[in-house]
Amino acid sequence: MNAFKLWYHKLGSPPYFYLFAGYIRPWLWAIALLLTAVGLYGGLVLAPPDYQQGDAFRIIYVHVPAAWMSLFIYGVMAVSAFIAVIWKPKMAEVLAMESAPIGAAFTLIALVTGSLWGKPTWGTYWTWDARLTSELVLLFIYLGVIGLYHAFENPRQGARAASFLAIIGAVNLPIVHYSVVWWNTLHQGTTVRYFGPSDIVPSMLWPLLVMTIATKFYYGASLMDRSRVALLSLERGKDWVSEVVRTERADG
């Protein structure tokens, strides 16, 4: 336990985190790509077509993992943001701020793929059902955090302000979801529809689980890459950065 705690504290130091992230990133990328290949082969080739939706249901293998990641990343971001606001360690700020664009990317994917899935299944590209609407609001929350972060000249101050906003957003998110669900039940004519295939068999399910894990590794890998770049920029006056710049090639 002591060694773990020591390692955890060392991670709070930018140069150590830089080295650690650089070390694990190839592994994270390799696993992400491998799992994606396996998952998509299972989803696109092996899984049988759905009884009702035919082959259209295969969008599930990108839509659902993206939607889950949009929420998962928000959770990680909110926790980092909380730590950043209370205890102010630089690494928490970096992890929170660099998670936001990745989360926004997944939210965008969830919205677009959800829209493309809606057309053959419900007949329309957009509908104000609870989940799509909540995803849309989530996108706005992400954009607000990213926008606020970049509106400050001092990145550390911007990170703290944006982290505060992220925490407010985290509290707001379940409220929004609940209110949108209620709003849907209020107005007859928009019943809450279920998105998935009519009958899930195991051969349909396991590729979904694989893709869920694959996207998590993607997030980890991308977060490591983004954080490394952010650290180089934030710590530019320091010796360790000069050392890195001197020794590393552009695509190191």
Q: Report the site for other proteins in 51-80 (rule: CB under 8 A).
A: 54-56, 58-59, 62-63, 66
- Binding of other proteins by 23 (CB under 8 A): no
Whether the Cβ atoms of residue 201 and residue 48 lie closer than 8 Å to each other:
yes
Task: Kindly report the number of other CB atoms within 10 A of residue 137's CB atom.
Answer: 17
Instruction: With contacts defined by CB under 8 A, name the span among 4-12, 75-83, 162-170, 196-204 that binds other proteins.
Output: 162-170
Q: Which is nearer to other proteins, 7 or 183 (CB)?
A: 183
Residue count at the site for other proteins (CB under 8 A)? 74
Cα–Cα–Cα angle for 60, 62, 65, nearest 5°? 90
| Pairwise CA distance, residues 26 & 228, whole Å | 13
Q: Is the Cβ of residue 101 or residue 206 nearer to other proteins in the bound state?
A: 101
Told to check if 232 binds other proteins by CB under 8 A, we report yes
Would you tell me how many other CB atoms lie within 10 Å of the CB of residue 44? 12
Tell me how far, at minimum, the Cβ of 142 lies from other proteins, in Å: 10
CA distance 8 to 2: 10
Residues in region 166-185 near other proteins by CB under 8 A: 168-169, 172-173, 175-176, 178-180, 182-183
DSSP 49: P
- By CB under 8 A, tell whether 25 contacts other proteins: no
